[in-house]
Amino acid sequence: MDTPPSSPAGDAFARLFPGESIRPVVPADLAAARAYLDSLTKPVGSLGRLEHLAARLWAMAGGARPLAVEPGLMLTVAGDHGIARQAVSPFPQAVTRQMVANFLAGGAAINALCRCNGLELRVVDAGCAGGPFAAHPLLLDRRQGDGTADMSEGPAMSLATCEAALRAGFALARDARERGSRCLGLGEMGIANSTAATALYCALLDLAPDEAAGPGAGAEPARVARKARLVAQALSVNADAVARGPVESLAALGGFEIAVMCGAMLGAAARGMPVLVDGFISTAACAAALAIAPQLAGYAILTHVSAEPGHARAVKRMTERAAPHAGAPDWGLPLLALGLRLGEGTGAALAWPLVRSAAAICNEMATMGDAGVSATEKDRIS
């Protein structure tokens, strides 16, 4: 089948995932959740943003109770980038593969945080340089190639490869739900992937390269300036593809791991699962997913604000576009602000206990009536 020349939002989702849909969250469910939360044995609104999160989980479930967010699954998706040869990162490309080996050996931050917080972890090879890894119980092989091409010289990948990566990610989420997972976290690993994420923010959210570019894995100012120049070059070289739509933009500027994460976010939302979005690179995948299917906003939970300077700017621009579909006044305010800039899914793993806690207050707290507690006149009026 020939690929259509363009993929506007909505049309792209239907073409990529025929027969699938993402149920929009509806105001009635959010209102019902808030009314129930107000009836619990506490002053109205006294659990703050935890109540906002609980209301969102209620709406994601379509009002079905008890809220089921466990077990949770973290997918740390790895891939290599051709732009790495332009020295945009202080680390060599070989570190991607070395860190995947570290994940599989259980020695990385994401391993420790998943163990600590009760999250299952799987590592996805979306396309690391050096060929396939040996089989391992934690490893999922979804390779799309041996790393992308250099986006400053042309498209990072073909449109067909990008679509295959999106479908692979969608299938990962579908399969996870069929195996019992009820919440999906997304993290990544890939030397130079902050450069790809920067380019996507510029293409999808109309940010300027010098606004979005940052130190990534610790680049010094001269290297950050070089990164911004190369992003501007990539945007120019791939301008025709960027103009055609979000999937074409993802193919031209993204990475295998970013495309797989984007597909997984869409797949999780199509199964009604909350999606825990990690930092700078995972949020770029979310921006692409929102451009393909705005309804994703109802299921995407921004877990932390990255120390990467462009992240807050990107989230602000995303929020303007996501607000009509999110159903939450604080959608663009990430749950945590800890100065994190590691990636891997670490921020999402740290936010996971908050998601469990939000579900628990809905599932386990008594109402005023059940507990025989007299509400104040103020509470009754509220």
Report in angstroms the alpha-carbon separations of 307 from 134, 191, 218, 276. 34, 17, 11, 18
Peptide bond into 4 cis (omega under 30): no
Sorted by sequence, the CB contacts under 8 Å of residue 189 that are 6+ apart come out as 76, 77, 78, 96, 99, 100, 103, 257, 343, 344
Q: Phi first, then psi: what are they for 105, rounded to 5°?
A: -85, -10
Single out the catalytic residue among 320, 344, 364, 377.
Answer: 344
User: In the beta sheet, which residues pair with residue 302?
Assistant: 277
Peptide bond into 353 cis (omega under 30): no
CA end-to-end span of the chain:
58
User: Is 20 marked active-site?
Assistant: no
Are the C-beta atoms of residues 162 and 254 closer than 8 Å to each other?
A: yes
> Rounded CA gap, 123 and 244, in Å?
32
Q: Which residue has the tokens 């959210």?
A: 205
Report in angstroms the alpha-carbon separations of 206 from 28, 198, 245. 33, 11, 13
User: In the beta sheet, which residues pair with residue 51?
Assistant: none
DSSP string for residues in 255-312 = -HHHHHHHHHHHHHHHTT--EEE-SHHHHHHHHHHHHH-GGGGGTEEE-B--SSHHHH
Report in angstroms the alpha-carbon separations of 266 from 56, 119, 276, 364. 17, 20, 12, 30
> Rounded CA gap, 231 and 253, in Å?
9
> Rounded CA gap, 340 and 4, in Å?
40
H/E stretch holding 76 reads strand 72-79
Instruction: List the catalytic residues.
Output: 344
